[in-house]
Amino acid sequence: MKRLSVVLIYFYLFAGSGLIFASDGDVSGMSYVCRDPAGRYRWQADTRISNIRPGVYVMVEKAEGVYSSFDGRVSWVARMEFERTKDNIRPLRLNKRVFDERGNMIRLETQEFDLAGNTGTCTHEEPARNISRTKKFRFNKDVVNRLSLALYIQKFLESGKVREKVQMVSEEPNVYDIELTRLGKETIEVNGRKRTAYRLLIDPVLGLFDFVKIFLPKAYAWHSAEGGYEWLRYAGPEGGIKSAKVEVTVVSYDQKVF
């Protein structure tokens, strides 16, 4: 059961990963807020995207607030380069720095992907706790991380697929299989506006332990069904199965043309 415990620690970290491409050549920035089930504020993030060369983009997420895996308030800056093709979104590299209230860096995470060789190398460092881990892996499915997942889901919805398994890189670091399932359309309210959205289940693939999933908290994402398939909301664990249950909702989108 050790693997079961580990696999659930990080990869529900979907919330706040969903910039959209409105159309070819257009990109969007966005802001989103995390609250507990009682509506109390936990953290807020802003994410922006820019084109750095043909077919390659950089996404930067800046956030601050209270997060389950840290003591006190923290802030973080995550920068991911990714490749966009007609049919796919593929991460190239990621650098994430987490800071305490005094501005001291308390965690550094990096991810490097070799798409031609289907390999990746990830690190996780927390100097004050004497933690330094490196993970090298080979992937045999489409690979995603927290920042690229919502963009990947857009392509998933555009293709008309109902279910797909992908490999997700977590912050530990580690790599796990997850399954995306489109459950259907429903009407939700986002910032006082009624929206028609697809609800998706983000589910771990646990092999022999799959039967225990009925006892685990569920993670759901909602993406617009009105064109663009932009991410609207996440509901589920903030981190692992023992972390706070949260809801993350998009506050605003803004678009620009480069």
Q: Is 189 left (phi over 0), alpha (psi -120 to 50) or beta?
A: beta
Instruction: Label residue 245 by pLDDT band (50, 70, 90).
Output: confident
Average pLDDT, the chain: 85
Closest Cα to residue 188, out of 200, 197, 176, 175?
197
For the segment 11-21, the average pLDDT, to the nearest whole number, is: 47
Residue 84, pLDDT > 90, answer yes
Instruction: Label residue 240 by pLDDT band (50, 70, 90).
Output: low
What is the percent of the chain where pLDDT is above 90?
64
Tokens of 230: 């932009």
36-67 pLDDT, tens digit per residue, is 999 999 999 999 999 999 999 999 999 999 98
DSSP state of 152: H
Residue spans per domain, the chain: 2-257
How far is residue 88 from each of residues 101, 141, 144, 155, 206, measured CA to CA in Å? 38, 12, 10, 6, 25
Say if CB 194 and CB 152 are below 8 A apart.
no
Say if CB 248 and CB 16 are below 8 A apart.
yes
Residue type, 55: G
Q: CA gyration radius for the chain?
A: 17
Residue 9, pLDDT > 80, answer no
For the segment 100-125, the average pLDDT, to the nearest whole number, is: 96
Instruction: Label residue 217 by pLDDT band (50, 70, 90).
Output: low
Alpha-carbon distance 245 to 7, whole Å? 18
Dihedral Cα 108, 216, 36, 190, nearest 10 deg: 100
